[in-house]
Every structure is written in structure tokens, then in C-alpha cells.
Structure 1
Amino acid sequence: MKKLIPLFFLFFIHLFNCQYAEGQYYESEIYKLKLRIEKGDKKALYELTPYFDSSKKLAEYLGHHYHETEEFYLAKRVIEENFIFPEQAINLEEIKNSETYSDFFKKNENKIKYSPELETFYITPLKDRKDFIEFRELPIAKLQNLIKRRSEIITKDWIKARGIDVLIRQNNPESLVKICEEFYRLRDKFNFFNRDQEDFPELLKLLIHKDIGSVGRNDYRVWDTDDSNFDNKAILNLLIYFTKNYKNFVWDNSSHCFINKSLKSKQIDDITILFEELYNDNDSIALNTFIKLSQSETKRVNEISAEKERNILSSTNPIIPMFPYRFLSQLSLLTLYYRQNNIDFQGTKDLHTHIEKLSSKISFKERRAYENYLIDHITLQDITPLEYWSLIYEKRPKLSESVSRILDIYYTKNWDTILNDEKQLELYLKKSLLYGRIGINGNVNYYLFKFTGNGNDAIKLLYKIKSEDPDIVFQIENAKKMCLKSFDYPISPQKISGGNFNSEKVDLKDETEKIKVTAKDSDDFEYKILKLFSKVGYSQIPEALQILEKLNFKENSYNNKYSMFERDFGFFVIENWKDKKVRDQFLSVYQSHTEKELYKYYLDLAGIDYKNQDESLDYDKIYEILKFDIVTSFTGSQELENEVGAIVKLLESDQNTTLGYPDKLCNSAGMYICPPSDRAWEWRKYLKDKKLLRKEHSKIVSFNYGYYIDKVLVYREINSK
């Protein structure tokens, strides 16, 4: 109890300090000045002067975030938010203290005016300022999307409040400048963000049928409000231009927009037009456009992709890859390389049939057999188009999972062939770099790891390459370093964790009743139930199933009350635990088999090749399963343990040891993923150390090794600190 007193005291002090700080926020004189300045009180501008020398810290709250701000920085922020500085006289960076601010104020006191429409002070009238605006033609697809939004925007409160809707109905060009004035009046401030921000430039574009680029932060020209550089400076440039030029716009009834005959706008090329079709609601149009762009002129694709990439909030058609512009940047470089080197990346008709089959919903057994067939029968010439189309179809998760395993095993089996074929080696190096630059999770990032521990023989082959391609030259040096890295099984000494501990004998019935009484709501109930049931061991499976059947989870719950049976015990091949027939069938097998027999039963059911003809375990086959069959998708973060968990449980029974790990594969409640990667590495080492292997196995590492080194061990190192 004594320990609780100081903790409570600290909490009280913290609460007091927060209240005191919040009190400072409202009581500080600078905030009163801020409010006066925002209302146009010129005298308050002068009274702000001494705060430019103050380092006193004030507490501020932005939503739930607490900040401590020196009065000097707050004073600068007040001026920045409420003053349009003249172009030549001074800029905000030049105000270092009260002296420089006072000098600026005194020199310009008689020139400073306040605009109630814009709610800001200024010196130079907008009509006398330079604007930094550029126009270009609007792609038809983009214009059509804007037309669809017209009625939505016109009915917004901000447009009605200022009478802009009336001006638009009257075809009055003054509406253009009024839109900009309201846009600037609602500019971003420390504690205000205009949630309708995109409406303003979109309405302007719709009314003049032109795309508008305005210079914003870092003097960068931005074309969309989603761009992080579209700030108050960009809004100001819009305002300046239309203030000076709105009278030059005349309504044209035939085109239903304002026309300015003196306006010069850049023509757009075919690639720019294509990019707009990525937003098309028609899946076929959007995907075919993406394919075409991936094979288009590299320089333009990269220029437009760089512009679009900054528009982080813009949503393309969901059928194309998650990060479309990153993909296009690298794919256009790859397809250029392929064409220059006469490398087929389109693939044969048969290959496309394989891709469609892998993309479809087929059973685990059929999928695994099909993957193994392709590993044995595709050629090196098939690999590049298989990778290319897997990137195009990034939104097909089953394809990504299967292709990842196929490529991993295929590259390992054919590694010597690739190393000794200069063209193939250059191709592999090129892909290894550009795939990694896409910036998405997945085994695309781990190609270079295949060089791990290759030694001097591989380095000599790398030295033979005389490529002038800077990407290949760069990657040769990285590959040499990987060749000199020694491989060792990355076994962690930590065998017990928050998601991995021994099972307990739990009174499920009694504990479940307690949870029903104590749970705060349905989410709390589900969480506590999953946490409770994640403790149970193999012997309590029937009881756990019986009780879970009677418990109701929300219909739209993201929790699966039966997920523990796959994740904690490795029953990988059972797809629908929610089906009572499936559960009854499982219980029948459970009750008629020993634990070892049960795992063998389901491995056999899945068509896993893991044993000899005499039914004894084939440790060489098992070694390969442990190496390759925990699969991370080709693109994406999904990590599938597949049959590896079941194989581990089988080995534990066969060798009568868990290697010091808990008796369960995982205690999955609250865990995002918990594949048996650690056990797989340690069991591989065990099989080798115990001389249970009869064959020589390739020293070329799996992609999973790269994933493990790059992610898991780094994550552990961070957590250990």
C-alpha cells in the first residue's frame, strides 16, 4: 500500500500541472492579443512586440495533443496566420526578435491595412502583387469527375453563406474571386483545418475547364489540394491571380464555363490523360490503363508519378496496386530495360492460364500441388513475366502468396544457373533494386539476400559483369557485401513471450460465466473470451469447442472465436471452423487419433509430402518445408505459416522435445501474427546437428531469411531495449 501513495501523489501533481498549464493557455495576454488581431485590431499588432523576445513557455492543446510553445514562436505564428507580408519589405524568417519586428512595424505602420473579407492584415494590395499560377488543359476523365461533384459542392454551406451559389447561377465571373476569398479566409491555422479544402480548387477548375497549378510551400507548384505542399501560400496565389483577372473571364453557354481568351494553358500529352483513367470506376478501364502506363515512356511516367505520389489522399480505382505511382515508377523502368534487352515480360498463353489458376479460390491441397508443379516445369524465361503480372495484379492476395513461394524455391534451385549466366545475373540484380524501391512490404524486398554467404566464387562472377547500367553497378557492390556475410540460423534465446507461453488447465465454464458478468460491453467480452481460451492446451480442445459454440460474438465482429485452433495448434487445412459439420468432423478425428496421428492425418489430407514410403518421417523433406513454407506474400505483409506449425508439432512428438519452447505454437489472443518462425529455424539446425539429414541441402537462403533478419530481429532488438 505504501507504494501506491507516491504514485497517487505523482498523478495528482501531473493533473494539477495540466490544469495549471491549461489555465495559462486561456489567461495569457498573448492569446487576448491573438483574438484582437484576428478581428483587425491594428493596435494589437504593435502590442505583440515584446513577445518576440520572450522564451516563456505556454501550454497548448491541439486535440488530444499537448504542446509547450515559447511565446516568441507563438508571436511569430500569430503574425504568419494573420498577415500577408509584402513581397519585398521583409519575410517571416527575418523577424528574429522584438527589435526587427518593431522596425518592420514602424516603417510600414501607415501602410498596414486589414481586410475583413479575408480576415488578415496586408500592405501590398492583391492587385499589385505577382501571382505564380499556371494552367493546363483538363483531361476529359478529370473534367467528368468534376462535373459529377458539381451539385454536391454547390449545396455546401460555405458557398451559400457567401452568396457564391447565386453568382454562379448568374454566370457572374466575380464568383471566381469570391471562391478564392472564402478559400483564403478559411485557411489553415494552428487550431483550424478546412475540411472542405478540396472543394475550392475543384470548383474553380470546373468553372473554367482548366487545371490550375499554384506555387506553394518550398516554391513548388502544386495541382491538387491533397499535395502536402498545397498550403496557405498556394491559396494566396490563387487569390492574387483571380483578384487581378476575374473580369477577363466571360461565360460561354456552349462549353458551360468561363472563357478567358488571353489565358495561356499548356496542352496535355497522352500519358497525362492516361493517368486520369486510373480513377475510372470501371475496373477493366482502370487496370488496362495501369498496364499501359507501366509500359509507357519512362521519363513522363516518372514525372507524373512523382506529382501524383504527393497526393496521398487521392483514391484510384481499388483494383490497381495499393501504391500505384510507386509501382508505375519502377515498372516503367523495368519494362524499358526489358525492351532494350529483348526480355519477354508479357509471358505465354500458358503462363497466363497458370496466373489465373493461382489467383482463383482453390483448396490448399490443390494450390500446393499446383505450386510444386510450376516450380518443376516453368523456365527462367517465365519468371520475369510471372513477376511482372504479379505486380500488376497486386490486389490478388492468393496469387501473391503462391508466387512468392514459387519464386523463392525456383530461384534457390536455379541459383547456379543464374550466377553463371551474365544476362540472367544482370537481370536479377536490376530487379532486386527496382523491386525494393517500390516501397511495399513483401518478398520483393529480399532478392539480394540470395547472395548471403555465396563467398568468393560468386564475387568473381560479379566482377565479370561490365554493365554500364548504374542500377546494376550499384547492386553489384551490395551483392558482393552480401556474399561475404556468413549465414547462421537466426535463433532467438527468447522462447517465452506475451504471445507464446505454456498452456494452463483452465476452468473454462466458471471463468466464462465470470466474464459474462464483468465484461463492460461486447468488445470487452470478446477480448476477454479470446484471452481466456488462448490459454488452453491440447487436452481441453473438445471442452473449448463445446463452450465456444454457445457463446455469441457480434455479427459484424472482426474477432473469430475459433481462430485459436488454427493459430495456436497449427490445424492449417481446416478452412471454416464456424461450420458445425466441420467442427464435428474435427472432433471425430481428434477423439480417434493420438496427437501425433492427428497432425499426420491433416498433413496427409493437405497433400503435404513429408514422409518416406514406410510412413517414417523424411527429415530432408521436412527440412525444406521448414525453410520455405512460412511464406510472406510477394507484395504485402501477410505471413502464412501454412503446414509448418503442424510439422513442428509432429517433430516435437517424434523427437520427444519442444526444444525449450512452450507446449503450444502460440497463445494468439491479441496477437496480430505469431508464426512458428523461431521453431522452424531451430528445428532446421536440430535436424542438421543431429545428423538426421541424408542429403546435401542448398546453402542459398530463403526469402524468409531476409524477412526474418530485416523485420523480426530488428523488432526484437527494439523491444529488448
Structure 2
Amino acid sequence: MSTYIKIAFLLILGLTGNKIFSQEHPIYDIERKLMQGDKNALKEIADYFDSEKQLVEYLGYHRIETVERQVAKRIVLENCLFTEKEINIDDNTSKNHFLKFINQNYERINFSTLAEAFLITPLEERAVKTEFREVTDVKQQELSNNKSELLNQEWVNSAGIKSQLQHKDSKCLLTIASELFKIRYRFNVYHFNKDEYIDLLSLLTHIEIGVPNDTQTISWHINKDFYPESSLNLLIYFASNYKDFAWDTQKEIFVNPKIRVSKTDKETALFQLLNNTDDAIALDAFTQLTNCDPVNVIKLAKEYNEAGIKHNYAIGIFPYKFLMQLVQLVSIYKQYGINYNTNPKVKQYIDSLKADLSFKERRSLENEIINQLTLNDISSFEYWALINESSWNCTYSSGRILDIFYSNHFIEILNNSQQLNIYLKKSSLFNHLGIIGVCNNYLKKFTNLKEIGLEKLNSLETSDQEIKTQIEKAKSFCNTSIKVPNDTKKINDANKDFHVGNLKKIIRGIHKMKNQKKMEDSLTELLSQINYKQIGKAMKEIENIKFLESEWKKYSFLERDFGFFIYDNFDTITTRKEFIVDYNKFSEFDFYKNMLMKAGLNYFMKNNLLDYDKIYDALKYNVVVAFVGGGGGKKDNEVYSIVKLLELTHKTTLGYPKKICNSNGIYGCDSQDRANYWMQYLVDNKLLKQGHKEPVSFHHE
């Protein structure tokens, strides 16, 4: 396929629908003639092969400015199956070149009704590589359940397939392949039912057929391929071989004794369960696959990933990419005798982290896990956290747990060559998961280790090329000094100080707006601009203002702008009353202190002064990034509350506005930059009693 036509194909990705806009130009009349088999139209369209005249086409709702020669060549490529030896139509093919080819071969050019395309070499005279494998039991059952629906599709009846089946005529297989190729992509015409054609072939043969796709690799998912090469190759195969299939009355399928059909292996059967609607079945299949043959799993994972095969989202966002890495991870664990999948303590921890816990309960559990896990447990913890990537509760908690755990145990890892090898191997495998999260940042723990890290890395012996690569990267981190924070955008549209006067009057004016959406938008914008002292008045005024669909939106500013993290749900009157009582009872400093205490967090010493060492660690680790995935945001947790205590104590915001965010219209704000500055402030002002020499956080920048 020429570069031009592939670019044209790519343009329609993501679009749906049929020819929404009619194309008004004589060239499209010629196109219709070609599609109907008018051979003279090949000469007519040649007149446009050299034309640079501008032409506007419509692709879905997109307006594309092009030239006549490009459109003409695309139309020819869509309606002709000339081999590369016969002619190669590309940007350099001229009118004279194409006309000469047509005139010289006019008598040999035929219109194939099977392919609905012009060709010289008949389909049955073309060679194609094919592979065959059994349909799994699960797939057979699915096909059997859908048999009636498949056989009663409109295209099955109109193509005469039902009649052929009644006569046990194997030509029906050729007809199905023909009908599939006929619905190949043509510019601005899309079909979304290709699964039916492949499923019907599998139903009638109990085999899956693999043929070369546009990259000349075997495709087992022809129905998922965008480019038409694989469906053409399937048609070519049946054009030459459909007669070799005969009806087996006992099996009630067409069989071909001349082909070698591969037996279904365990991995293939499990992969087909990954889209099971039962979450437990899909997750069990996923877990089993991590323990299967790595070569086969990686091969199938690539196949499924490239074909974009749907899956149950209980197994995560990118399960095929995960499997490629997890199956290698398990091999390493087996090599070192690590108990990765039957550790009851770890499995219980993971299950508990997946639960819907209060902040206080979750933080207590996280700290327990950090203190209880050993280096012998941590690999199992990572394994099960990856298996359960779809649980945001679990993956965010895992991010914090792993971050602190590895800082606490990093010297131990450096002093154990086996543990260091495993850590470096994981740093590579996790980085290839293809997902956001601290999984990509394992090497950051080597930051600024200097000679301590370099000595251990230089003495490490390994034959694993991935580990060797990671060693060199880790050395670079060892020589990277920790930089002083430098936030050049402390004040911006997402965060700046506003002055809102006469708040009550403005809110009541907004409430009178007739357009509900504009009223809601105006109110949320206003609420994102108020200061701490105006919260009580604002809460009183908005209490009886109703939001139609998103009542939570009215109160989102409380957590997003002021960091009020401990209150369960501002949508409920109970929570709001609890909040107002605290707000009216305490000063701003004591309000934040009380909120931390409610969360079970005490950042004060016995003399009621701030415990700067505990605060330093909280600033370092508790703006949490997920281990894997999690949507890409950060959980601010209690960090902003700590920042407010520091600001109020030291009477400075370090140049930042007085709030964490003006959240209206902003995707998200977090306290990481402020935390970095305050960590530096504590160091510079010699407020710390401890050395804090542990490695940097995974999300250190």
C-alpha cells in the first residue's frame, strides 16, 4: 500500500458514521463507475493523475483541502488489486504511465465480483501464507450461543450464504470472506460489524485463520485490522482452497484434512477470558497468565494489544502491556525463590487497601503495612498491587507505601546484591508498563547517593542486559544533586489572591439568574475566589441554592481550594453542620490543627510546638502519586493543612497566594511545590533535629 493511501486511512481514525457530506465533483461519478465494474472508467480517471487543481473533500465532519491527482490515485487504489509487479501506484505515477499500463493490459484486466475490484492476476492464482489454530472451548460456546443471530444477519441472507449452507456447499466460506472484503474501508465509508464475518467463519469451521496483515506479520484478528491487507489475504486463501473443505455431519462443521491446525494452548484460552463480563473470571484469567510461559504470553499480549481487543476493565487499563512485564517479573521471582503469590499477609493487606476506608483508617493501615512489610514481602506486595491496578484506592495507597518503604530500606537493598539486582530489574520492567505512576521512578531513589551508590553499582555482577542498562542510568542519578526548589509560577490563573467585596449581595444576584447553567457556573467561579474568612458567610448564603445535576460541585471549593480533607461528604447536611461548628469554634490555625487531630495525625510535640521533623517527612511523602495509573492526579491528603500551620506560624506564604487553588475551571491543584519550598525552609532555618538522609521521594522533582 502506498504512503499516500495509508495517510488517507489514518485521517479517519476516531470518526464514525457513513458519508455524511456528499462529494460534488465529476471524479466521484467516475468512482461510482469503477465500483460498478466499468473498465473504461480506469481511462477516465487517468486524466486526473497529473492534476494539481484544488479539491475539497469531507471526511466525517472534517473539511480536507487536497488536489485532484491525490483523490484520483486514492480511488484507484481502493478499487484495484494490481500486484506490485504489475504496477505500483504512488505519488510519482503519472497520467501517461497509468494510461500506458491500462492500454497494454486492457484485455487482461477483469472486474472481480468477489472482491469488487479490478485485477489482472486472479485471486486463486495468488499465494498467501496461512496459519490455523483451534477455536477455544470458551469461544466455541460463545459462537454457539450466537449462532441464530449470526445466521440471520441481513448480509448472510442477501449474499446467498444461507442457501449454500442448506446444501452443505463449502463455497459459503468463500462468500463470507468475499463479503468481508467488500466492506473494506473506502474514503468516508465505515463499517463496524466485521466481527460477524469472522465469527461466522469460526462457527462453521471451529478454526481461526491467521494471514499476513499490512506489516506482513500474521494477524489472528482480521476483524480488528484497519487496513484491508489481511481481509484480502483471507479472501485469496478461500478463493484457492474453499473446495478442500467438506461438511462433517458428525461435527456439523466444514473440515479440511489438508491443513495443520494448532491445538489450543492454555495461554490462548486464558486470553479469551480477559473480556469476560464476569470481573472475577477475567481477573482470575489475568492472574493465571502472569504464571504461564513468558514467550507465549508476550507473543499473545502483543497480538491482542496491536489488534485492540476489548477486555474487562476490572483487569486494568492496559492489561496486555502489564502482562508482558508481569510474566517476566514472575520469572525473576521464581528464579530467586521469592514467594510472590501465596503470601497471606500481603494478600490481606491488598484486599484491605481496596476497601472504602475513611482517611484515618486508610492512613493507619498504610503505616501498619510500611512497618510490617519486609524485603521478602515487598515483591509480593508489588505483584498484587499491579494485579489490582484498577482499584484506585489500592494503587494510591500502594504509591505511598512503596515510596516510604524503599526509602526506609534502601541501604539494606544497596548492601545486598540479590536485592539490588531485583530492584534494578523491577525498575526496568515497571518503566515498560506504559502507564503513569511512581512505577516509572524507581531509579530516583539513587539521586545524590554519590560514592555510596556508585560503589555498590560498580561492584554489581549481572549478565542481564536490562539490569546493566539500569545500572548506568542509576549511576547518573547518583551523580545528580538535589536541587533547590525553583517554582517560577507561584502566582497564576489557577492560583492567585482575589478580593471579593459584598459577598452576600453578589451571591444573591447570581441566584436570581434565569439560566441555570450560567447561574451554577457563575457561583462556582465566585466561590473559588473567596478567602478563608468568607467561608462561613458563603456557606450560609448557598445552603438553599440548588444545583440540578452536580450538587457536589457547589461545595467542591472547600477541599480543592482550602484543603479540608477530613470531612466525609459536604453534600450531606450532617457534614456541613459538623464543619460549620468547627469553623466557628476555632481560629484558622486551630481549625487546621483540629482537622489533623481528627484524622489521627499529630504534628506537635509535647510542648505544643510544631514537630518539624515529622512535618518534613509528611511534606516529602504525603502528596501521593499512585503506584500505577490512578488517573494521573495527586492526593494532597493533609499536606496543605500542614502548610497552613507553617504559614501561620512563620507569618509567610513563601511567595505563594493564600490558598492552594482557585479551582473553578482548573483540573486540579496540589501542594507539592509548596511542600518542596517548606522542606527547604526547614533546612535553611535549621529547624530540623534529625538528618533526614533517606533517599528522595519517588515523585521528587
Tell me the TM-score normalized by structure 2: 0.91
Contact 1:25-1:59 within 8 A present in 2 as well: no
Contact 2:485-2:680 within 8 A present in 1 as well: no
Contact 1:412-1:702 within 8 A present in 2 as well: yes
What does residue 7 of structure 2 align with?
none
More moved, 477-486 vs 491-500? 491-500
How far off is 1:94 after superposition? 9.2
Judging changes above 3 Å, is the alpha-carbon distance between structure 1 residues 426 and 125 closer, same or farther for their aligned structure 2 residues?
A: same
* Alignment of 1:567 onto 2:554: no
Question: 1:607 & 1:682 partners in 2: Cα distance?
Answer: 25
Contact 1:358-1:399 within 8 A present in 2 as well: yes
What does residue 387 of structure 1 align with?
382
What does residue 578 of structure 1 align with?
571
2:237 pairs, out of 241, 252, 275, with: 241
What does residue 197 of structure 1 align with?
194
What does residue 120 of structure 2 align with?
123
How far off is 1:646 after superposition? 1.1
2:536 pairs, out of 532, 535, 542, with: 542
What SS is found at the alignment partner of 1:53? coil
How far off is 1:60 after superposition? 2.2
Contact 1:573-1:606 within 8 A present in 2 as well: yes
What does residue 102 of structure 2 align with?
105
Question: 2:551 & 2:131 partners in 1: Cα distance?
Answer: 48
Judging changes above 3 Å, is the alpha-carbon distance between structure 1 residues 631 and 216 closer, same or farther for their aligned structure 2 residues?
A: same
How far off is 1:642 after superposition? 0.4
What does residue 525 of structure 2 align with?
531
What SS is found at the alignment partner of 2:689? coil
What SS is found at the alignment partner of 1:92? coil
What does residue 694 of structure 1 align with?
689
* Alignment of 1:297 onto 2:293: yes
* Alignment of 1:588 onto 2:581: yes
Q: After superposition, where does 1:402-413 map in structure 2 within 5 Å?
A: 402-413=397-408
Question: 1:375 & 1:670 partners in 2: Cα distance?
Answer: 37
Judging changes above 3 Å, is the alpha-carbon distance between structure 1 residues 349 and 520 closer, same or farther for their aligned structure 2 residues?
A: same
More moved, 269-278 vs 214-223? 269-278
Question: 5+ residue gaps in structure 1?
Answer: 1-23, 710-721
* Alignment of 1:67 onto 2:57: no
Question: 1:195 & 1:516 partners in 2: Cα distance?
Answer: 47
What SS is found at the alignment partner of 2:194? coil
Deviations 1:18-54 (A, max 9, x none): xxxxxx9955443333233233332221122243223
What does residue 324 of structure 2 align with?
329
* Amino acid in the other structure paired with 1:568: D
What does residue 277 of structure 2 align with?
281
Question: 2:370 & 2:672 partners in 1: Cα distance?
Answer: 23
Q: After superposition, where does 1:161-180 map in structure 2 within 5 Å?
A: 161-168=158-165, 171-180=168-177
* Alignment of 1:256 onto 2:252: yes
Deviations 1:94-150 (A, max 9, x none): 963223312321221111222456432222232333233322111111222233333
How far off is 1:177 after superposition? 2.3
Question: 1:64 & 1:530 partners in 2: Cα distance?
Answer: 34
1:680 pairs, out of 675, 678, 681, with: 675
Judging changes above 3 Å, is the alpha-carbon distance between structure 1 residues 673 and 119 closer, same or farther for their aligned structure 2 residues?
A: same
How far off is 1:653 after superposition? 1.1
1:353 pairs, out of 348, 356, 371, with: 348
Q: Work out the percentage of aligned pairs sharing the same amino acid.
A: 38
More moved, 428-437 vs 120-129? 120-129
Q: After superposition, where does 1:379-458 map in structure 2 within 5 Å?
A: 379-458=374-453
What does residue 651 of structure 1 align with?
646
Contact 1:173-1:246 within 8 A present in 2 as well: yes
How far off is 1:610 after superposition? 1.0
Question: 1:141 & 1:270 partners in 2: Cα distance?
Answer: 12
How far off is 1:237 after superposition? 1.6
What SS is found at the alignment partner of 1:52? coil
What does residue 219 of structure 1 align with?
216
What does residue 488 of structure 2 align with?
493
How far off is 1:444 after superposition? 0.6
Deviations 1:572-621 (A, max 9, x none): 11121111011001101111111111100110000113111122111111
* Alignment of 1:473 onto 2:468: yes
Deviations 1:534-562 (A, max 9, x none): 1222122223323433233344x496322
1:266 pairs, out of 262, 268, 286, with: 262
* Alignment of 1:634 onto 2:631: no
* Amino acid in the other structure paired with 2:644: K
How far off is 1:71 after superposition? 2.8
Contact 1:60-1:68 within 8 A present in 2 as well: yes
Contact 1:136-1:266 within 8 A present in 2 as well: yes
2:310 pairs, out of 295, 307, 315, with: 315
More moved, 169-178 vs 118-127? 169-178
Q: Which runs of 4+ in 1 moved over 6 A?
A: none
Question: 1:302 & 1:141 partners in 2: Cα distance?
Answer: 21
More moved, 636-645 vs 258-267? 258-267
Judging changes above 3 Å, is the alpha-carbon distance between structure 1 residues 241 and 527 closer, same or farther for their aligned structure 2 residues?
A: farther
More moved, 148-157 vs 612-621? 148-157
Contact 2:73-2:90 within 8 A present in 1 as well: no
What SS is found at the alignment partner of 2:48? helix
What SS is found at the alignment partner of 2:33? helix
How far off is 1:657 after superposition? 1.3
Question: 1:119 & 1:570 partners in 2: Cα distance?
Answer: 64
